[in-house]
Structure 1
Amino acid sequence: MNNLIKKSRKLVGNFKHSAKISKKLKAVQLQLGIPVHRMVQDEPTRWNSTYYMLKRLLEQKDAIVLLSSKGDAILSVDMIPDDWKTMEFGVQLLEIFETATNQLSKENSTISEIIPLIHTVMKVTKNQDVSGSGLMGLKNDLISSMKRRYPSVEANLTLACATILDPRFKDLPFQSQDHLLAAKNKLLREMEGEDSFNSRIHWTDSSTTSGVPVSVEESSKEQGFWTRYAEIFSQSSPVQQPTLVGYAEELEQYLQEQPLNPNQADMLGSYWFSSPHLRLKQVAKKYLCVPPSTVLSERLFSAAGNICDQKRNRLDPERIKMLVFLNKNLK
């Protein structure tokens, strides 16, 4: 994979540094009916830029091969058929990571997405068939890295409670019943209040029944991230039957409702705003928060750079601050 990336960087660099070959590429793109896109050069510090570079090369493969067949010396990169095959498998392998990254970088994402997101990435990666592509080592490294970085994400009660309180997921994505029970009991304590918590209000292990499948619109054929999640976790999942005492009734009624479409967002503004589960609603406001990330702050710097450009370089700092504020807050 490292050798393939080096070859790809050199190939893309040839297009980037030659206006002549870029013009020829555009002519071939129009001839073949391929999207007229420029090549993407990757940034070593951002892994997804390498993914975008490889994906763009695959999109322009026919144009590149045709240009090479015409004897353009500037395209003299030792790309063999096996390289293209490896590139295709590599893009398929990295696609779920890029999709998950974008999903968690949205402005309306919440920490409730972390557990189902990690489980979905792990399962999709394990199920990827890369036999014969030379990428089995990369696949195993990705899986090992995920296990090392997130050894027991369900054990984090904050994330677990947030996942349960997300009406799209509830208790479906949990792999460990022990962690699920711990999160449910944590929610009961939150609902009742730590001071008045009664130890008899606890979930007890008893018989299991089939869980409620995730509702996904049948008309949607989009293979998005949450569509993959639904395919994995829409199967029957064991649900612990509680001993219904006090606040446990409200939590159980919530869990027995049909989960929302996984592609639906803005739970606080839609579901929880009109929810009849009044005590649980107060807890949801506490847990459905934004994941810690530098993405939004970096986007803010980008917005400032777009506002204060070469044609508007005489704006005073206060005016720039006001324009950025309006840009990020006006709907």
Structure 2
Amino acid sequence: MKSQYVLPFERPIYELEEQLAKLEAQPNPTSNTLDAIRNMRTEIQRMKREIFDNLDAWQTVQVARHQERPQTCDYIDLMCDEFVELHGDRAFGDDRALITGFARLDDRKVLLVGQQKGRTLKERSECYYGCAHPEGYRKALLKMEMAAKYGVPIVCLIDTPGAYPGIGAEERGQAYTIAVNLREMMLLPTPIVCVVIGEGGSGGALGIGMGDSVSMLQFAYYSVISPEGCAGILWKSSKFADQAAKALKFTGKDLLKFGVVDEVIPEPLGGAHRAPRVMASTLKSTIVRNLRSLASLPERELLDRRYQKFRQIGVFEELGASEVAPA
């Protein structure tokens, strides 16, 4: 069945799949028809690989924002054997843009924290399209501190264009609350595994992103600002978002090279939205593997490694005049 949401560069794939479906629906297919079906299946796989292996930065953003891309609640349903949601920040309210709760991944108990955008208009309105308010970050930190108290590791799924920028959020201390989360997450004496599953926008992502292991899915992005926001500043128009996306160097390939993320998790051919169950299985195995590798570390070493990990991001060396190669 054709997806309701087809990105421009995906259209040739869906057109071939429609032709394949018509061939497969024919009663009593001839040998020529069966050959055509086999060839078309091979061509579809080749086309998917060619297109998705060569996405530019702006196309990667489009995949990260795909309407059918799995979100936190989808991964909870597909990965977790159990999940008990925890609500509220004990101060203002319960922010639906941030989901928190105790979960079980195979034989491992974890605290799961994830940003949720919503599917329907009603859900998106409740979730503010994944843009959390200060109460969301307070809720997340409260639950993380409780997990650390009982020695339960933390898993954070990041998927937000950024923290909510409204007046009410600013009045309630948006920037301060995120800053507190950054400081306190660095000090939590329990393993923290973070994965960018879609959009990783600015401080909204960092508010739950200080982990011992920071990974991202193949077609996610992780950036200090959205491409539209960057284009608005540099070119005074969001029409240049594609150029901004290229300049920001925020894809998995770039961030792995810069040392911002530790791992890029491969997505199914055609993206996570084409095979959510396969993606959930891969994500779960990656999270469990990272938790296993962190579990044996003494508390002091765990905290020291986490601190050094983030201190080293952005470090560079200046060459002296004698070391610079002539043009």
Normalised TM-score (structure 1): 0.23
Between structure 1 and structure 2, the one with the greater Rg is 1
Which protein has the bigger helix share?
1
More strand by share: 2
